Amino acid sequence: MILNSLLPSASTYAGDIDTLFDVITLLVGVPFLIASFLFFSFILRFKKKEGVDSMYISGTEHQYMKWIHRAHVPILVFDVIIVVMAVNVWYDVKQDLPEAASTVRVTAQQWAWTFTHPGPDNVLDTADDIRTVNELHVAKDTLYHFKLESLDVLHSFSVPVFRLKQDAIPGRVITGWFEPTLAGDFDIQCAEICGIGHGLMPAKIHVESPGQHAAWVKAHNPLALAAATSSAPPELESKVRKETNRLAAR
Ligand code: CUA
C-alpha cells in the first residue's frame, strides 16, 4: 500500500514484504500517535497553575496501574502479530528454497558486480557461461537461484523492486532465490559500506520476457561468438596460406 505506491513490486514475495511493512506501520504508528497526543495534551492540561499544589502520584496504586495494564495488553498482542507475520515472510524468502529453473552467480568486489549467466545449456560453470559486468539479465516469471560471492570485503546485493537484500561475505557462497514478475530495467545497488567506491557500485537488472531473454542469451553465447570471429572467409585463408608458403620458400 505505502511502499507499493513509491516503488514497483517486481517479485513474487515483494507483496508479502510490503504487507508486513504496512502492518508494522499501522500497529506501531497508531499507538505512537495516540501516546504522543496524550503526552502533549497532558503536559498542557496539567501545567503549573497559580494556587494549585502539585499532586504526588507514585503510580503503584491499583487505580493508576490499571491504565498501564490496559495499554500494555494490546501492545503485546500487536507484538505477537508482527513477530508471527515476520517469521512467516522470513521463512518464505530466506529459509525456503523453491526449485529453480535457472541459476546465476553474483560476484561482488570493490567496486563492481560480475554476473555469470548459465548460457544456452542453462548450466553454470560450463564453456558457454555469459559473464557481464554491472548488468544482470533474467527472464520474467522464471524462478532463479543466485549464488552470491564476494572477492574482497562485505557487500550487499540489493534489488529494491524485488524487496531483496542479501549480504555478500568473502569466503562464503550464499544461495538465495527470486522470481521476477514485472518486465523492465531496475536498479541493483550495493547496500553495505564497502570502501570509498561504495556509492559507485550500482548495477542494472534487466527483466525480459522469456522470448527476449532467449534471444539475448543466443546473441551473447560466447562459443558462437568465438566461432564467428575465428572463421575467416575462405578466400582470405587461401591468400594467407599462399603468402606463408612463399615466405617459407625464400
Ligand atoms: Cu560494495 Cu558497498
Name 98's Cβ contacts closer than 8 Å, sequence gap at least 6. Answer: 143, 177
**Residue recorded with cell 548460457:** 119
Distance from the CA of 166 to the center of ligand 1, in angstroms? 12
Spatial contact of 198 and 189, defined as CB atoms under 8 Å apart = no
Rounded to the nearest whole angstrom, what is the distance from the C-alpha of residue 109 to the centroid of ligand 1? 8
The pLDDT, as a whole number, for residue 4 is: 76
CA dihedral 112, 113, 114, 117 (to 10 degrees): -160
Helix (H) or strand (E) holding 139: strand 135-139
CB-ligand 1 contact for 18 (6 Å cutoff): no
Place of cell 548488468: 135
Rounded to the nearest angstrom, the distance between the alpha carbon of 136 and the centre of ligand 1 is 17
What was the pLDDT predicted at 232?
56
Q: Is residue 150 within 6 Å of ligand 1 at its C-beta?
A: no
The gap between the terminal CA atoms of the chain, to the nearest Å, is 82
For the record, the C-alpha cell of 41 comes out as: 495534551
Do residues 203 and 134 make contact, with C-beta atoms less than 8 angstroms apart?
yes
Report the pLDDT value the prediction gives residue 244, as an integer from 0 to 100: 60
- pLDDT score at 177: 96
Evaluate the omega torsion of the peptide bond into residue 177 and state whether it is cis, within 30 degrees of 0: no
- Ligand 1 atom, smallest distance to 193 CA: 2
- Ligand 1 contact, 217 CB (< 6 A): no
With beta carbons less than 8 A apart as the criterion, state whether 184 and 137 touch: no
Sorted by sequence, the CB contacts under 8 Å of residue 233 that are 6+ apart come out as: none
Question: Which H helix or E strand runs over 89?
Answer: helix 62-90
CA of 154, closest atom in ligand 1: 1
For the entire predicted model, the pTM comes to 0.79
Residue 222 region, left (φ>0) first, then alpha (ψ -120 to 50), else beta? Answer: alpha
Check pocket membership of 194 for ligand 1, CB cut-off 6 A. yes
250 residues of the chain, pLDDT tens digit each:
677 778 899 999 999 999 999 999 999 999 999 999 999 999 999 888 888 888 888 888 888 888 888 889 999 999 999 999 999 999 999 999 999 999 999 999 999 999 999 988 999 999 889 999 999 999 999 999 999 999 999 999 999 999 999 999 999 999 999 999 999 999 999 999 999 999 999 999 999 999 999 999 999 988 888 887 776 555 655 665 676 677 666 6
The type of residue at 208 is E
Ligand 1 in reach of 190 Cβ (< 6 A): yes
Q: Determine the pLDDT at residue 243.
A: 64
Ligand 1 close to Cβ of residue 192 (< 6 A): yes
Is 188's C-beta closer than 6 angstroms to any atom of ligand 1? no
Residue whose CA is at the smallest distance from ligand 1 atom 1 = 155
